[in-house]
Structure 1
Amino acid sequence: MFDREYSFRGKHSEMVIKLTGEFTLTSEDGTNVKKHSLFKRNFDVYLLAPIVGFLYNRKADIDTTPQGGSTKIWADIQMNNSDDLNFNYKLIMLLDKENEPDPEKRIDKAFRGIKNEADEQLYNSYVLGGVEVLYENLIDKSSDYIANLYDFLETFENRYNTDVNVDDVLKMARKLSY
């Protein structure tokens, strides 16, 4: 599954391009300008998106419209990172009770290598749904991407009650504020 090139198409391509695009931050006195990006590569979005899509119960279909073009993740990047990608795939197959209520079948999908096209399409729908969630929360809200990131992390922390130290995130955001 992760041994070939992957393409984001249509609106998802546009979203990934914006998620990986550079933005500038200027110091308050206007003398220091730095370029940053929320994600360095398309692959970084692809690695996080299925988990976000699953956690937010967000799925999306492939956009086949001609607008938006496509953006790719090369096959060698997929293959070199197949352990991480397979971990995400197995985790989702194991936890997805909505699409497979039988725990034995979920275990088969996750650990016994029983894959089928429907499961791969389900995984991809979580990828695309996750791209949409990331885009809506990090880019689409406002042009203050650092504030968007902070808000998203805070919402995520509240939603899943994880142990994210807000003070550490604020310190990091302040370091990037120029």
Structure 2
Amino acid sequence: MFDKEYSFRGSHAEKVDQLTAKFDDENQLFQKNKDVLVMAPIVGFLYQRKSDVTSGEAKKINGQQVSSIFDDLWFNYRLIMLLDKNYEPDFEKRVDKAFRYYNTDKAKPDEELFNQYVRGGVDVLYEKLIEKSTSPSDYLKHLYDFMEELDERYNKTVDIENIQELCALARK
């Protein structure tokens, strides 16, 4: 899955284009499309936002760039498969999805779920950072507000048991 070209299509391609565009002479929120691809699935999962493919022009990330972020994408995929209790309530099955089924026919629905979170994350990033911005100071203010919102929503509610459980899995 993470060893070939990746394409954003339609409205998501347009949003990625705006997320990587410079908002003044020298600053931009994301330098490359691949940077959006790394961040988007986590944001989509945290906000429980999924989105289907839209038709239209494609914005591609070539296979070499995708392979350069393979470890990050693979980590994000496994993390989402392990944590998404709504998608799979059974812990052992989540472990199978995260580590055993990847890149097999059994993983096709899981890989599509991951891609839905990627697209949902692009939607959230666009809404939070770009949509209401009209000046360079707006972009920075919205970025700060978004980071602060993430901190308030997630860093204060981290359950120590979840961290210990994930650390134990990582050691195996």
Q: Aligned Cα RMSD in Å? A: 1.2
Paired residues, what number?
Answer: 150
Question: 108, 130, 137: which is aligned to 2:96?
Answer: 108
Match of 1:172 in 2: none
Return the offset for 1:81: 1.9
Q: Percent identity?
A: 56
Match of 2:3 in 1: 3
Which residues in structure 2 correspond to 1:1-178 (within 5 Å)? Answer: 1-24=1-24, 34-64=25-55, 66=56, 69-114=57-102, 115=104, 116-143=107-134, 144-161=138-155
With the length of structure 2 as denominator, give the TM-score of the two structures: 0.84
CA contact (8 A) 2:21 2:28 kept: yes
The one-letter code sitting in structure 2 at the alignment partner of 1:126 is Y
With the length of structure 1 as denominator, give the TM-score of the two structures: 0.81
Return the offset for 1:79: 1.5
- Structure having the higher helix fraction is 2
Quick check: which has more Rg, 1 or 2?
1
* Structure 2 counterpart SS, 1:46: helix
Return the offset for 1:70: 1.5
Structure 2 unmatched ranges of 5 or more: 157-172
CA contact (8 A) 2:52 2:119 kept: yes
Match of 2:166 in 1: none
Structure 1 unmatched ranges of 5 or more: 25-33, 163-178
* Structure 1 counterpart SS, 2:3: coil
Segments of 4+ moved more than 6 angstroms? none
Return the offset for 1:49: 0.2
Return the offset for 1:109: 1.2
The one-letter code sitting in structure 2 at the alignment partner of 1:138 is L
CA contact (8 A) 2:38 2:69 kept: no
Return the offset for 1:158: 1.1
The one-letter code sitting in structure 2 at the alignment partner of 1:13 is A
- Structure having the higher strand fraction is 1
Match of 1:176 in 2: none
Partners of 1:37 and 1:142 lie apart in 2 by 13
Match of 2:163 in 1: none
